[in-house]
């Protein structure tokens, strides 16, 4: 079993602020039919440029290294191909824009020595992106890690894992510390590894399970513990919050990273998806957590006026 599930189960079993409504899971899943579940990156609201195989691979590691914490007032937005974009779409657009401008953003030595000015140009938008200095440090870490252990090439990291998902997850989270997404809860380490799992599932999706994306045990990845999927699960009634936690979220109060409330939200989100998968397996043999994750995240991009906010946590992990 993925250690993420092992360590988060104890949180779910002792949760006080967050609960999973299993009756609603059964109801939602009885009406849910997922056919040819789209890879989330295929849902971009703009045409994607053609990338060679190696750059597709590089994009997943490098872009997902910065794929976190977009909220703020006002929200960071990027203009790309005549559109104003925010969140993950804005981050992806920033990378595509940088490639179009000829910036060597997949060169490990360039990343290891990248300046604040260069990062500011790559991520230029309005206002400055949150946690800017942390993103500078992470890009330098990615470049240094690739140069130190993998001769500057992400493909060498992939080959070191011999196409095994959990081995690759271990390597990414060990060799790139900013990808090691964990916390201490009641004296025990709890793992989430949101961005690392997203990068790996992104490789699988980008290559349609072929070539560089031909992994063994892809079904062992969990959903990705973030902002948008808990919001979607709450909207459907699958996730339920205590009154005080619901009030904090609805009034956009910050939930500290590593707090009981934040850890319970993330752990229960992961296990809610696991229970959904179990409910669907009879009708949809082979359904995987990453399929539900992609579908739920894309559902969260369909915004309506009555939507309740997502929880606010300032962190580099999601």
Distance CA 21, CA 61 (A): 35
Three-state SS annotation for 60-80? HHHHHHCCCCCCCCCCCEEEE
Asked if residues 62 and 106 have their Cβ atoms less than 8 Å apart, the reply is yes
Q: Which of 175, 220, 226, 293 is catalytic?
A: 226
Closest by CA to 120, choosing from 107, 112, 111, 129, is: 129
Residue 226 a catalytic site member: yes
**DSSP designation for 283:** T
Cis (ω within 30 of 0) for the bond into 74?
yes
Distance CA 205, CA 105 (A): 21
Residues 6+ apart with CB under 8 A from 160: 150, 171
Where does the chain have alpha helices with state H?
A: 3-13, 22-30, 53-65, 87-100, 108-112, 116-122, 132-149, 154-160, 165-175, 194-206, 228-236, 243-250, 260-280, 289-300
Where does 33-187 have alpha helices with state H?
A: 53-65, 87-100, 108-112, 116-122, 132-149, 154-160, 165-175
Asked if residues 17 and 241 have their Cβ atoms less than 8 Å apart, the reply is yes
Distance CA 177, CA 124 (A): 25
Distance CA 277, CA 293 (A): 10
**DSSP designation for 131:** T
Asked if residues 179 and 203 have their Cβ atoms less than 8 Å apart, the reply is no
Q: Which residues are catalytic?
A: 226
């Amino acid at each position: 079993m993925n250690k993420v599930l092992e360590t988060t189960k104890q949180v779910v079993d002792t949760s006080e602020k967050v609960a999973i409504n299993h009756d609603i899971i059964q109801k939602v899943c009885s009406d849910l039919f997922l056919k040819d579940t789209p890879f989330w990156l295929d849902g971009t609201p703009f045409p994607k440029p053609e990338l060679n195989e190696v750059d597709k691979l590089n994009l997943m590691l490098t872009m997902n290294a910065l794929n976190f914490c977009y909220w703020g007032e006002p929200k960071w937005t990027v203009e790309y191909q005549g559109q104003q974009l925010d969140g993950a779409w804005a981050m992806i657009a920033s990378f595509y824009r940088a490639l179009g401008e000829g910036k060597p953003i997949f060169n490990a030595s360039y990343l290891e020595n990248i300046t604040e000015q260069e990062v500011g140009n790559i991520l230029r938008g309005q206002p400055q992106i949150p946690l800017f200095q942390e993103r500078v440090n992470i890009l330098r870490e990615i470049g240094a890690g690739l140069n130190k252990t993998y001769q500057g090439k992400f493909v060498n990291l992939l080959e070191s894992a011999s196409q095994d998902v959990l081995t690759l997850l271990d390597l990414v989270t060990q060799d790139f510390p900013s990808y090691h997404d964990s916390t201490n809860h009641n004296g025990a380490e709890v793992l989430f590894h949101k961005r690392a799992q997203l990068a790996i599932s992104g490789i699988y999706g980008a290559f349609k399970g072929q070539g560089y994306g031909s992994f063994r045990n892809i079904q062992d990845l969990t959903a990705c513990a973030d902002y948008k999927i808990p919001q979607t699960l709450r909207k459907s009634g699958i996730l339920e919050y205590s009154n005080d936690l619901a009030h904090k979220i609805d009034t956009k109060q910050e939930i500290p990273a590593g707090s009981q409330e934040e850890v319970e939200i993330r752990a229960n989100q992961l296990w809610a998806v696991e229970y959904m998968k179990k409910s669907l397996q009879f009708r949809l043999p082979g359904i995987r957590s990453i399929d539900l994750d992609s579908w739920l995240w894309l559902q969260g991009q369909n915004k309506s006026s009555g939507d309740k906010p997502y929880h606010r946590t300032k962190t580099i992990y999601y």
